[in-house]
Amino acid sequence: MDTIASAPQSLRMLYQIWRLRTGRIGLIIVVTVLVLSILVPILSSYEIDAVDLSRSYKPPTTRNWFGTDELGRDLFTRVFYAGRISILVGVSGTLVSVLLGLFLGSISAYFEGLLDAILLKIHEIQYCFPPIILVLTVMAIIRGGTLALILLMGLFSWPTTYRLTRNLVLAVKREPFVEAGRLMGNNAFKLLFKHILPNIIPSLIVNATLLVADLILLEAALSFLGVGVAPPTPSWGNMLNVARNIYVLSRMWWIWLFPGLMIATFVVGITFLGEALDAIVNPHSKTEY
């Protein structure tokens, strides 16, 4: 225990996550998918876009573990390469959303008054519309690429982080140590970044972890509808797009099953990881993990 106590904070956090059942499961799932996605060029002997029309629509075999698609491309290679894209989009969109929500929530709660009222009203209006509707509409109009998708996902999913940040800052700014810092002559931004934000970061990390899962599902839905990541770049969502064909859906299960399983598995892993982090950050929670 002394060794753990003297270890770096990141290692102590990993140890705490590993002690929880959901943390272990989530960590194993997330790390496994990430490692396979990174190492797929080494694990597979097929190129991502290698076409072999003589092997179109082949079911899983020892040669092609996940089968092949309509162009004879190896689905094992494409599924895990698609994992890189879907996870990158989810994480990048989360980063945009968290930074925007953190900034707006912080200044809204700290300065209050008219600024807080305006931002709160904007938050309430946007919260009425599901992000998928907003992103779908704008993407259909501008016909943007992956970068536009990431920015729009982040831009239209900030209300959750904003609300959490605002509530936390409102609570922390009334603590005695913040008042002491104010009396010592610290300006507003120094109080925010040096005294307040470090105390709310753990809760924001939990929120960000769960938001990654939400945005991966959002990307999958948008790509399935044809306005997300555009082919030939594979993502889990656009690989599911073929399931819109009833013949493929009923007769060629392997084409949509493996991308669908990867989405479900990775999202479950991220969710379990988020629950474990929540149990660590909020130790007084009555939920057993």
C-alpha distances (whole Å) from 153 to each of 158, 202, 221 are 9, 23, 12
**Residue ranges of the alpha helices (H) in 44-130?**
75-111, 113-127
Name, of 10-14, 141-145, 234-238, the range with top average pLDDT: 234-238
Geometric angle at alpha carbon 154, from 151 and 160, rounded to 5°: 165
**Most confident of the ranges 31-35, 139-143, 167-171:** 31-35
Q: How far apart are the first and last CA of the chain?
A: 22
pTM for the whole thing?
0.87
Instruction: For residue 73, give Cα distances in angstroms to 86, 98, 231, 234, 259.
Output: 19, 37, 14, 12, 14
* pLDDT (tens digit per residue) in 162-177: 999 999 988 888 888 7
Domain 2-281 indexed as CATH 3.40.605.10: no
> Domain residue spans in the chain?
2-281
Confidence of residue 2 (pLDDT cuts 50, 70, 90): very low
pLDDT digits (tens, 9 = 90+) for 99-116: 999 999 998 888 888 988
Instruction: Tell me the pLDDT tens digit for each residue of 193-243.
Output: 877 888 888 888 888 999 999 999 999 999 888 888 888 888 998 888 877
Confidence category of residue 39, pLDDT binned at 50, 70, 90: very high
Residue-level pLDDT at 1: 47
Which helix (H) or strand (E) segment holds residue 259: the answer is helix 253-281
Give tens-digit pLDDT for 233-287.
889 988 888 777 788 888 888 989 999 999 999 999 999 998 888 888 876 655 5
Sign of CA dihedral 114, 125, 189, 109: positive
